[in-house]
Structure 1
Amino acid sequence: MTTSPTLDPTGRPLSRARPRSHIPVFPFDPVSRPRLHTGLDTVVDRRNGGVLLVCGAVGVGKTVAVADWVTTHLPRSHPEARIAWLTVRDQTALWPELRTRLCVPAAGSGQPAAGVGEAEAILTALGDSADPTVVVIDDAHLITDPLALAGLEYFLQHAPPAVTTVLCARFDPPIRWHLLQLHSRLTRWSAHDLALSSADASRLCAGHECALDDQSLHTLMDLTEGWAALVRIAAIYLTASSSENSDALTALARPPHAFADLLVGELIDTLSPALRQFLTCTSVPEEFTEQLADDLVGGGAAHLLYELDRINFPMTSLSRSGKVWYSYHPMLRAYFLAEANRLGPDLCADLHLRAARRLTTIGELQAALAHLLAVPDHRELGSFLAEHALALVFADHGESLFDALATAAPDVLTDPFLRLLQATDALLRGGSGTAQAYRDSARLLADDDPHSLAGPYRLEALTAAVDAELAVASGTDSDPIVFPQRMPPADRPDLDGYLAVTTGTALALRGEIARGEERLRIALSRTRSRCHPRLRLIAVTRLAVTAGLAGSITTMRQRAERACAIARDHDLLDLPETVHATALEAYGAYLQGSDPHPEQIRVLCAEHIRRDGTPGPVAGRLPHVVGNLLDCQCGDDPAATDRLRRSIGRLLDADPAPVLGGSLVSAAVWALLGSGDTSAARQLTERARAVLGFIPDTVLSTAALTSVGGNHQTVLGQVEPVLAATSGAHPVARLTGWLLHARAHRELGNDSKTREAVDNALRIGAAHRVARPFFDVPGTVDLLDYYAGCFGQCSAFADTIRAGHRPRRRVQHPPLTATELRILQQLPSGRTTQHIADDLSVSINTVKTHLRGIYAKLGTRSRMEALQEARRSGLL
């Protein structure tokens, strides 16, 4: 213990100067910690007899932080404060030394009772002074004597408001801390609160003439986690090292002598043999649960974890998926891993297998894989891959899975099942060419050795799934692929779900929509449990596709919205399948006359840089075309038309399936015609006919160009094959065909044929709530205006289309007054001028005056012409 300041004859200090001899002095300049200084000031400013308990392992910076605050900051923030610093060495001298530090005179007669009595005497001497007093008790964990602990508890509980006590300890002294917590007088700081930030560590290293770049500093923080003593040792080590910082930091991953001396001498040697054995076994996994620890050590983990927590061992815990996970500081884990390796390879292999089994049981497959790869015998690895590798691929861990296998177990990758899994991963990433190469390799491997680690059924099922998905992704004919009439019973939900998804999609795209829908529903039912949410997302998205192929646009939108909800719920928003679902939802809204959300357009139009350095769509060409189509129709950017033309051209370059590409080609042609670019629309139509053939969509695109050219008789001949009952055209295509038919007959003067065609179009549109073709085909909304109120059950749908088209109309006449509008609304009823005047309680001359004003503003000369113009311009 250090000496106290000189006292006058009455026992009081001669001056207010702060005695510094008892405050620790360090051989280095501490790094300034303003955040900690502010926190310490806050405890003092509360004036409630507050207690700050600073706990952490050796070297985390407890003493340095508090001493720096006392010597450099407190004199400025609280110049009137009295400081008493006590470093515990001899418990029997605790209270006399504290009395000396506080400049409190000894009792007048006799000695106070030990423990509580001594603490009470000091508190009495302190009295109710208004000046703040800061008492720092360093190494408080060394207080173990029951009397000393009782006195400490009394002192903390009964300290006057102006007294603030700071205790620095490696672990909590065993007193009743909850009594202070109940009165909001206790503040706790742990090693996490004391950890150096990256900026703090950089300044500390600079003080040792060790300059680190950002990458080296990041590595250092990963190794030390801001543990102050370790950072300082590392800085000294790096300064003395002749190697590059990156190489020297790599060497630090294996604790050098300076680290080991600190950890062993001050921390590890104090542990019991049981704790050291526990730490050795549980350091094998990067993190562990209590159940995993039980598997590794054979039971009793709960008690040992409690003991580690009691002594404040450097260990972190976090809650994830309803379980508490523990992990050790990287340097400590490295030490105990070395201890485990010294015990022999058999023990390490056994610990890795135990960890892998438990982690597999609780669904931590990627962590389990790392342990299996560390075992020389690959038999259990093969069984694991047969059961769970597909799940890892769907969890977007395929790339890391195959990289790890190539490094640690290349022999396993020669299995045909693993080759098919690589094809599956490539398909999920949009690489159909790479997937085909893996598929061909799997075929060759299976021919050489038909036996697979997954068994014949799983190999056959995955082969069928990959073949079906390759046909879908590449747009090739899937007719040669023979699909079983019934799905086999579930063996693995993820594999059977994937098989149902891929075969169902292939069936739907080759025209067997009902059968494909059935398969996809089976896939959805099999992916509701024990499968990655991504597979369920794919199943629902593909069901949306089948609804769209069948013409059920409302159902397509609903299913796409459900798929997007699954993506939001499971944080899968960045996956291509989510973008596909977004495209289906937005395209459905477009067909039904609604404006898509701008954020949807942004997502669909997004591009990324591919491996060859060229830009490409994030989630494939089809969503990208949809995004550019919506941007062209809903935005004001003149360049949007060019982007649409380029994107639809790239789609045709890829030779898409006609059933998927046809409708987008037709929509793009109408968008180009609407923008006035007839030449680009013609070129696109000719290109689509060459790639897709004479399908209904390319035929209708040709008819649209013919209609623009004014050859309406030819239009009738072009669209009639599409309108035939045996054509099998999509409802949207049939609706567009009837509208072209109606416009041609209107131009040719065939009123009855015109009306019949409009009725047919409305029936199809109302059944599927499809409105977009009415906006695309010129003059069709005018026909709805002309025949307004005469469509029977379809009248409400016709009025909806007219209302939706109203913002697109160009009204060039002056606005009507409120009275003129009221009179105009009476005209369709057929009521006479006198009846209208009676209804409005005005004279007939007033009504006639307003009628003349209506005719003049609308540019008409009769009631019939006024009604036609009002319907055309959206006033009615």
Structure 2
Amino acid sequence: MAESVGPARVRGQNRAPAGTAPAAPAWLVPRPRLTDRLARGVLGPLTVIVGPVGAGKTALALEWAHTRRLPGPLAWVTCDGRAEQSGVFWPRVVGALREAGLDLPETVTPEAEPLLVAALAADLNELGGPVVLVLDDFQPAPGSPIAEGVSSLLRHLPGVLRLVVLARRDPPLHLHRGRLTSEVTELRTDDLAFDDREATALLAQHGIDVPKQTVSALRRRTDGWAAGLRLAAMSMERRSDPERFVAQFAGDDEAIASYLIEEVLDLQPDGMRRLLLTTSVLDRMNAELAVELSGEDAGQHFAALVRENSFLQPVGQGWYRCHQMFADVLRMCLRHETPGLVAPLHRRAAAWLGEHGLLADAVRHLLAAGDWDQAARLIVDRLAIGQVLGLTRLRLPDELTRQLPEQLSAQDPEPALLAASVARVRDDDQLCCRHLRLAERLIAELPAGEDRAVRCRLAHSVIRMDQLRSRAPEEARAAAADAEAALARLPQAGLSQHPEIPALTLMIRGGGELRAGALKAAEASLTGGLKAAGAAGNGALRRDCLVDLALLEALRGRFRGADELAAQATQPPLPAWTVAERSQGSLHLVRAWVDLARAEPGRARHELTRADAVLRAMPDVFLSEIASLLAWLATAVERGGTAVVPIGDVVAASRLPRTLLRTVAPACVSLLDSVRHRGTVSAAPQHAAARPALTLVGAPAERLSARERDVLGRLAQMMTTEEIAEELYLSVNTVKTHLKSVYRKLAVTRRSAAVRRARELQLL
């Protein structure tokens, strides 16, 4: 039976801040942001510091113990990790408490552990104030007598025991209960990671002074891991070029590798070691993927790996990421021990990831396996060539654009298609065309009706559209027609995940319809393209659709709408033009037309000069005809709206499509009439705030309500009825009722007409 533990008393008034804590080493890096959290956490019953070996857990606790005011006596126990035995542990705890100044018996009988714990709890409860107990390297097995005994102490000593646990894995102390009641403070691997300021201080201890960007690079490479930073600093002391060392520093550095192999990898059982090595090819993993790579036997260790290895960090939804430096070491060991296994592991990972819709990850693994052909087949099959071309916010790995095989498959068109898209990204038109010709020949050899041939033809058309849309509009429209033919033969369900394809197709088709004078069809195509480009996250396509819509409105004589659409096309986050493009020339022409409607021929001339510069670089008959017409209009506006030659004759003499002339002629007449009625013409550019407003026409018979204006504003953003209802917290039926009222008050019957009319009336 355990010897009775008498009432706990603090001997004398000696409460040194560090209590029984070891001496603080001279190399400690001050980390007040974390010691502040420890100081607050120790006011509660349980504080847990969990991190991998070398994360700086003990150093942090020592800094806190020696620099902060503690709520009571401090007892520090350095445990033996997983090898801890009850017969050693409890005497250590009682001894540390006695050294901290508590009057406890000197001898205990470990065989009567439950009685000892109960007696210790009773005596500590009689203490006049709280006591702080630090358990360093506390790693008992779940359900073990030590774990249950410490849990019992916590449960029976509320307000007295302030337990601080330092461990490489979650201690088995029912943490979930403390989380529910906010009675546990946790510092984990991410919290323990050094920031740039702390990394700079650590390097300074070794006499190393490097630029801030070098410190940041080193911190990122080590994931802020304290041991990695320290080992790097020790190596840098011996280098004449520390910045170059940082640029090459990785987990395969000899010092890092030796440390982690000895301290972590060699201590793992065989099954766990095999699981760590085989999954090291992954950037992130979950249980199912781990089993796919390692087999059922090794996969059975996954739960224990996650629970016991703090080098593995959760990233959400059952996925985990390995610490970068540890992953580097594992990959190095895998290459050295089983080099023939690396490529097959990458291929198995790619197959699983591809089946689960994680295309970018699958492609990355295929490239790591050196399997360009399979990566190409996967990309084309998943209709993802637009992701290679940068047509969507989702991007495929940059490795794709950095490598091209010297020789492509002579049987399969997919590698040639991928090579063409990579050449397109590199702006190598000659190489792109060569690969497209090869792909076209190989596609012709496929059975015409099979799904694979249709997908290849679609990829071929998408690359051609992207390549030709700026420099050869007619050829781009032919490619768009081919794309539409292929799209019609593919399941619509899969296409919904690739809005970049219809966005590009509709933008090109709409531009062609605009040039042919089919304005209604062009408006429908460009509006659809605008919405699809928004879904794809393609700012350049959105910008070009807006510019063409602005030009369409100007051709109709709706200059207020044209002005607003042109303004939207140049507002962030939409991208600016980096080189001369046709849409940039169109934008200058729209602005010139709007300036003429404001009776500002000077501004219009300036915009026409800028448009001319674009058209010299990229000739375009359609835009040149519009520019000539605008130059004639500018002269007429400068004469107060009086034309020497009848406007109808000037318009008829242009080479614009006849269907378009019937719209353009009245617009020009109306513009000149407006200038004559205005009576003043500004020949010089004016400040934006002083520019005259465009003439309003008509007004709604009834004023729109505030809610109707809300609905109208979302309508102008191309939102669906359901999206408007969700954003405004209304039912779909209520939104429809508001829309009907808006249509009635604006005297229109369609969404596009309502938006156009609202812009004319300056309601948006």
TM-score, normalised with respect to structure 2: 0.73
Matched, 1:410 2:406: yes
Distance 1:637 1:160 in 2: 81
The residue identity in structure 1 corresponding to 2:355 is T
Judging changes above 3 Å, is the alpha-carbon distance between structure 1 residues 264 and 283 closer, same or farther for their aligned structure 2 residues?
Answer: same
How many Å apart are 1:34 and its aligned residue? 1.9
Judging changes above 3 Å, is the alpha-carbon distance between structure 1 residues 25 and 200 closer, same or farther for their aligned structure 2 residues?
Answer: same
Matched, 1:84 2:57: no
Judging changes above 3 Å, is the alpha-carbon distance between structure 1 residues 729 and 424 closer, same or farther for their aligned structure 2 residues?
Answer: farther
How many Å apart are 1:232 and its aligned residue? 0.8
Matched, 1:729 2:651: no
2:4 matched residue in structure 1: none
Matched, 1:329 2:323: yes
Deviation track 1:180-211 (CA, whole Å, cap 9, x = no partner) reads 33332112221111111122111111111122
Distance 1:124 1:465 in 2: 77
Matched, 1:298 2:295: yes
How many Å apart are 1:51 and its aligned residue? 0.9
Distance 1:172 1:520 in 2: 55
Contact in 2 for aligned 1:607/1:618 (Cα 8 Å): no
Judging changes above 3 Å, is the alpha-carbon distance between structure 1 residues 161 and 546 closer, same or farther for their aligned structure 2 residues?
Answer: farther
Contact in 2 for aligned 1:83/1:102 (Cα 8 Å): yes
Matched, 1:653 2:586: no
Distance 1:311 1:214 in 2: 35
How many Å apart are 1:316 and its aligned residue? 2.3
Distance 2:530 2:301 in 1: 46
How many Å apart are 1:451 and its aligned residue? 5.6
How many Å apart are 1:83 and its aligned residue? 2.4
Contact in 2 for aligned 1:253/1:334 (Cα 8 Å): yes
The residue identity in structure 1 corresponding to 2:564 is P
How many Å apart are 1:179 and its aligned residue? 3.0
How many Å apart are 1:18 and its aligned residue? 0.6
Distance 1:145 1:399 in 2: 46
- In the alignment, which of 179, 183, 186 is matched to residue 185 of structure 1? 183
Distance 2:272 2:73 in 1: 42
Distance 2:599 2:298 in 1: 66
| SS of aligned partner of 2:104 | coil
Distance 2:406 2:472 in 1: 33
How many Å apart are 1:222 and its aligned residue? 2.7
- In the alignment, which of 39, 52, 58 is matched to residue 53 of structure 2? 58
> 1:121-520 residue pairs with structure 2 within 5 A?
121-127=119-125, 131-142=129-140, 146-161=144-159, 163-242=161-240, 244-299=241-296, 303-319=300-316, 324-375=318-369, 380=374, 383-384=377-378, 387=381, 390-395=385-390, 400=398, 403-406=401-404, 409-412=405-408, 424=421, 434-436=428-430, 438-440=432-434, 443=437, 472-475=469-472, 499=479, 501=480, 503=482
Moved more, 260-269 or 95-104: 95-104
Distance 1:649 1:284 in 2: 55
Deviation track 1:216-243 (CA, whole Å, cap 9, x = no partner) reads 223312321011111111111111234x
| SS of aligned partner of 2:228 | helix
- If asked which structure has higher relative contact order (CA below 8 Å, sep 6+), I would say 2
Matched, 1:541 2:499: no
Judging changes above 3 Å, is the alpha-carbon distance between structure 1 residues 282 and 777 closer, same or farther for their aligned structure 2 residues?
Answer: farther
Distance 1:262 1:637 in 2: 75
The residue identity in structure 2 corresponding to 1:652 is L
Deviation track 1:547-579 (CA, whole Å, cap 9, x = no partner) reads 645656576556545544444444333xx2122
Judging changes above 3 Å, is the alpha-carbon distance between structure 1 residues 455 and 247 closer, same or farther for their aligned structure 2 residues?
Answer: farther
Judging changes above 3 Å, is the alpha-carbon distance between structure 1 residues 778 and 540 closer, same or farther for their aligned structure 2 residues?
Answer: same
Computing the radius of gyration from Cα coordinates, the structure with the larger value is 1
The residue identity in structure 2 corresponding to 1:272 is P
2:745 matched residue in structure 1: none
The residue identity in structure 2 corresponding to 1:801 is V
How many Å apart are 1:600 and its aligned residue? 1.5
Contact in 2 for aligned 1:117/1:151 (Cα 8 Å): no
Distance 2:599 2:110 in 1: 89
Distance 1:253 1:716 in 2: 74
Judging changes above 3 Å, is the alpha-carbon distance between structure 1 residues 265 and 621 closer, same or farther for their aligned structure 2 residues?
Answer: same
Contact in 1 for aligned 2:417/2:439 (Cα 8 Å): no
How many Å apart are 1:730 and its aligned residue? 3.9
Distance 1:668 1:722 in 2: 13
Distance 1:634 1:122 in 2: 91
Deviation track 1:408-454 (CA, whole Å, cap 9, x = no partner) reads x322399987566555566678x5xx4256325755x689xx66899
The residue identity in structure 2 corresponding to 1:66 is A
1:602 matched residue in structure 2: 570
| SS of aligned partner of 1:103 | coil
The alignment-based identity, stated in percent, is 21
Deviation track 1:90-129 (CA, whole Å, cap 9, x = no partner) reads 3141442243144322369998994454344344434476
Judging changes above 3 Å, is the alpha-carbon distance between structure 1 residues 737 and 284 closer, same or farther for their aligned structure 2 residues?
Answer: same
Distance 2:172 2:647 in 1: 94
Distance 1:638 1:739 in 2: 17
Number of matched pairs: 657
| SS of aligned partner of 1:30 | coil
| SS of aligned partner of 1:277 | helix
| SS of aligned partner of 2:564 | coil
Matched, 1:68 2:63: yes
The residue identity in structure 2 corresponding to 1:602 is T
How many Å apart are 1:735 and its aligned residue? 3.2
Distance 2:663 2:259 in 1: 81
The residue identity in structure 2 corresponding to 1:653 is R
2:33 matched residue in structure 1: 35
Contact in 2 for aligned 1:140/1:167 (Cα 8 Å): yes
Distance 1:381 1:192 in 2: 34
The residue identity in structure 1 corresponding to 2:186 is R
Contact in 1 for aligned 2:546/2:569 (Cα 8 Å): no
Judging changes above 3 Å, is the alpha-carbon distance between structure 1 residues 327 and 572 closer, same or farther for their aligned structure 2 residues?
Answer: same
RMSD of aligned alpha carbons: 4.6
Judging changes above 3 Å, is the alpha-carbon distance between structure 1 residues 11 and 175 closer, same or farther for their aligned structure 2 residues?
Answer: closer
Matched, 1:801 2:697: yes
Distance 2:152 2:23 in 1: 30
Structure 2: where are the runs of 5+ without partners?
Answer: 1-6, 81-87, 680-694, 701-764
Judging changes above 3 Å, is the alpha-carbon distance between structure 1 residues 527 and 628 closer, same or farther for their aligned structure 2 residues?
Answer: farther
1:580 matched residue in structure 2: 544
How many Å apart are 1:602 and its aligned residue? 3.0
The residue identity in structure 2 corresponding to 1:186 is V
Structure 1: where are the runs of 5+ without partners?
Answer: 1-8, 484-498, 505-517, 611-615, 679-706, 744-773, 784-798, 805-876
1:18 matched residue in structure 2: 16
The residue identity in structure 2 corresponding to 1:646 is T
| SS of aligned partner of 2:609 | helix
TM-score, normalised with respect to structure 1: 0.64
Distance 2:666 2:334 in 1: 79
The residue identity in structure 1 corresponding to 2:407 is D
The residue identity in structure 2 corresponding to 1:150 is E
